[in-house]
């Protein structure tokens, strides 16, 4: 008679344990959910201080995942603060009752960094007012929960503009400053975080502190690029400029390395106001070069344009046609590239966005295109950040991984102007060996219409992140499910240094506890 192994007291192998996934190195998973110790005491404490905590499943479920759509978690409750004082009360009570607090702005993380795995979720989007526009100093002071598109709309009324922001403008200002923020003008103007003049921050212990490069500069350096570890940004004073329409020139390449070398040439020579690379697979590579003024474009045409090795659209089209005539078995790839081109590029030239041949508002154009052509239920975007000398190799190796895993994908490459060796860069997306200009590349598969398992997507991301470890690079998505790579990439000495600073600033380790450490 057969006796089941459970009845014989023998525990069989777990069929869904990580080591059962043969050939799939599942190195990162969601953290376990916080079990709710002291939750009711914490809620009562907050309510006695006049802070409303929303505990319904409906309120919490809104924030179950982030833009990545891969990590899922559920908080015990949500607070929508109206002021820095509200956040101060939350963090003081959280330290007392040891309740984890996860901050969230636009939720545009892709590795679960803004997903709460139990505890309290702090929805910063309720703090979304512009407080002051100073046209003498050319700065704007705003609450940090505002989305970039909201800030842009308000600045436009006075014909003003921010300096640099992420291409997806549903990101919040505070969240962006905490991770860096990269735009197509970052090769010239740097990260969004480097445009911050002053901040108001609530520390993990609940102190409300004003900081700048002159006042409490140590906190300023810890919070910028700090991934939410050292405080909650509640207000930010940012540099602004006059609003200008832009003109764009496009250059087309079939070689990634050649396009990257030309991108680096433009950044090194400060030859344009905007530059970046977008690809359709690795066959159709577009280098965009854009200008805020006719004078800048004329200077580019006279001094630097002849150095670029890209082609115009007609010439490149003929080259592509010849290539696929010689490789007829790749006809489906050719059809995809042609279809993608005829859907995507007209979006940059819609008549409502154009005036006298110029894009009136790059804010609307680029952000709209990002959501329409790259958005979806899941967004898997591993990336690598490198100094100039390593960048081409890093992109080529990452491209090979994309080719291995997916039929369709895109790469987005851009430069990042640095402000010297600032402490804020020390453990961040800025690679430690970069100087003057760093470079980053996002590797994004086109997932629409195809369902991939979480483990398949994780294996893809692992191979990209392994390149970073092997080459000594950094990452823009710097936490959440990929935080296991941080020690491997940055080394124990640097990580332990920042962990010690975190423990000193956050004794109960409650603020964004699962993001980095």
CATH number, position 439: 3.40.462
Task: Average the pLDDT over 336-361 and give the result.
Answer: 83
Q: Given this model, what pLDDT does residue 26 score? A: 53
Helices (H), 384-491: 388-405, 454-471, 484-490
With helix as H, strand as E and coil as C, how does 84-105 read? HHHHHHHHHHHHHHCCCEEEEC
Query: Total structural domains in the chain?
Result: 3
What residues contact 129, with CB distance under 8 A and at least 6 apart? 142, 143, 146
Q: Given this model, what pLDDT does residue 248 score? A: 92
Domain annotation covers residue 197: yes
Residues 395 and 292 in one domain: yes
Q: Given this model, what pLDDT does residue 21 score? A: 45
Residues 270 and 225 in one domain: no
Which residue range is the domain that position 256 belongs to? Answer: 247-491
Domain annotation covers residue 3: no
Buried-exposed string 242-257: b where 16+ CB fall within 10 A, e elsewhere: ebbbbbbbbbbbbebe
Quick one: which H or E segment has residue 133? Answer: strand 130-134
Residue given tokens 């000398």 in the structure block: 389
Q: Which of 209, 242, 275 is the last residue of a domain?
A: 242
Q: Considering only residues 355 and 271, tell me which one the structure prediction assigns the higher pLDDT.
A: 271
Give which of 201, 198, 217 is closest to 209, Cα–Cα: 201
Domain annotation covers residue 334: yes
Q: Report percent pLDDT > 70 for the chain.
A: 93
Least confident range of 245-254, 268-277, 318-327: 318-327
In tens, the pLDDT along 197-255 reads: 999 999 999 999 999 999 999 999 999 999 999 999 999 999 999 999 999 999 999 99
Residues 355 and 474 in one domain: yes
In tens, the pLDDT along 460-483 reads: 999 999 999 999 999 988 889 888
What is the distance between the alpha carbons of residues 74 and 61, in angstroms, rounded to a whole number? 7
Q: Is 106 helix (H, G, I), strand (E, B) or coil?
A: coil
Domain annotation covers residue 10: no
Residues 468 and 320 in one domain: yes
Confidence band (pLDDT; 50, 70, 90) for 5?
very low
Residues 130 and 71 in one domain: no
Domain annotation covers residue 63: yes
What is the distance between the alpha carbons of residues 287 and 265, in angstroms, rounded to a whole number? 12
Confidence band (pLDDT; 50, 70, 90) for 61?
very high
Q: Considering only residues 360 and 82, tell me which one the structure prediction assigns the higher pLDDT.
A: 82
Does the pLDDT of residue 451 top 90, yes or no? no
What is the distance between the alpha carbons of residues 137 and 262, in angstroms, rounded to a whole number? 36
What residues contact 213, with CB distance under 8 A and at least 6 apart? 220
What is the distance between the alpha carbons of residues 140 and 148, in angstroms, rounded to a whole number? 12
Q: Share the mean pLDDT of the chain.
A: 90
Domain annotation covers residue 5: no
Residues 255 and 229 in one domain: no
Q: Given this model, what pLDDT does residue 20 score? A: 42
Does the pLDDT of residue 1 top 70, yes or no? no
């Amino acid at each position: 008679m057969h006796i089941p192994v459970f009845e014989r007291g023998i525990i069989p192998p777990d069929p869904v344990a990580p080591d059962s996934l043969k050939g799939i190195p599942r190195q990162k998973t969601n953290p376990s959910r916080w079990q709710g110790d002291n939750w009711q005491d914490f809620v009562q404490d907050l309510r006695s201080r006049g802070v409303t905590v929303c505990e319904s499943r409906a309120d919490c479920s809104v924030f179950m995942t982030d833009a990545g759509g891969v990590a899922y978690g559920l908080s015990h409750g949500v607070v929508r603060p109206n002021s820095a004082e509200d956040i101060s009360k939350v963090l003081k009570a959280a330290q007392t009752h040891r309740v984890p607090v996860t901050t969230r702005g636009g939720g545009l993380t892709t590795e679960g960094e803004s997903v709460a795995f139990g505890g309290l979720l702090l929805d910063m989007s309720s703090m979304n007012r512009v407080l002051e526009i100073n046209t003498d100093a050319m700065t704007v002071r705003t609450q940090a929960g505002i989305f970039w598109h909201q800030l842009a709309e308000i600045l436009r009324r006075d014909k003003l503009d921010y300096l640099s922001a992420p291409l997806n403008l549903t990101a919040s200002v505070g969240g962006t400053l905490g991770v860096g923020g990269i735009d197509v003008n970052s090769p010239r103007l740097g990260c969004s975080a480097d445009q911050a003049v002053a901040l108001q921050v609530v520390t993990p212990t609940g102190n409300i502190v004003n900081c700048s490069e002159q006042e409490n500069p140590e906190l300023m350096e810890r919070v910028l690029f700090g991934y939410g570890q050292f405080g909650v940004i509640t207000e930010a004073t940012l540099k602004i400029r006059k609003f200008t329409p832009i003109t764009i020139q496009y250059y087309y390449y079939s070689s990634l390395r050649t396009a990257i070398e030309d991108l680096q040439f433009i950044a090194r020579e400060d030859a344009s106001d905007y530059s970046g690379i977008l690809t359709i697979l690795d066959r159709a590579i577009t280098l965009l070069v854009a200008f805020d003024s006719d004078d800048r474009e004329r200077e580019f045409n006279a001094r630097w344009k002849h150095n670029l090795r890209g082609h115009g659209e007609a010439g490149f089209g003929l080259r592509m046609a010849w290539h696929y005539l010689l490789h007829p078995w790749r006809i489906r790839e050719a059809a995809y590239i042609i279809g993608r081109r005829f859907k995507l590029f007209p979006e940059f030239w819609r008549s409502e966005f154009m005036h006298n041949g110029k894009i009136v508002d790059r804010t609307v154009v680029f952000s709209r295109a990002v959501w329409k052509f790259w958005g979806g239920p899941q967004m898997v975007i591993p990336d690598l950040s490198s100094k100039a000398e390593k960048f081409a190799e890093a992109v080529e190796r990452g491209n090979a991984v994309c080719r291995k895993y997916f039929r369709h994908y895109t790469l987005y490459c851009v430069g990042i102007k640095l402000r010297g060796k600032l402490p804020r860069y020390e453990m961040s997306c800025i690679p430690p060996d970069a100087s003057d200009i760093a470079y980053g590349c996002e590797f994004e598969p086109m997932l629409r219409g195809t369902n991939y398992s979480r483990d398949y997507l994780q294996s893809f991301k692992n191979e990209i992140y392994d390149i970073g470890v092997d080459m000594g690079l950094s990452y823009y998505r710097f936490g959440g499910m990929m935080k296991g790579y941080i020690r491997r990439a940055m080394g124990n000495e640097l990580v332990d240094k920042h962990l010690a600073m975190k423990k000193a600033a956050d004794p109960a380790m409650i603020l964004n506890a699962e993001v980095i450490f």
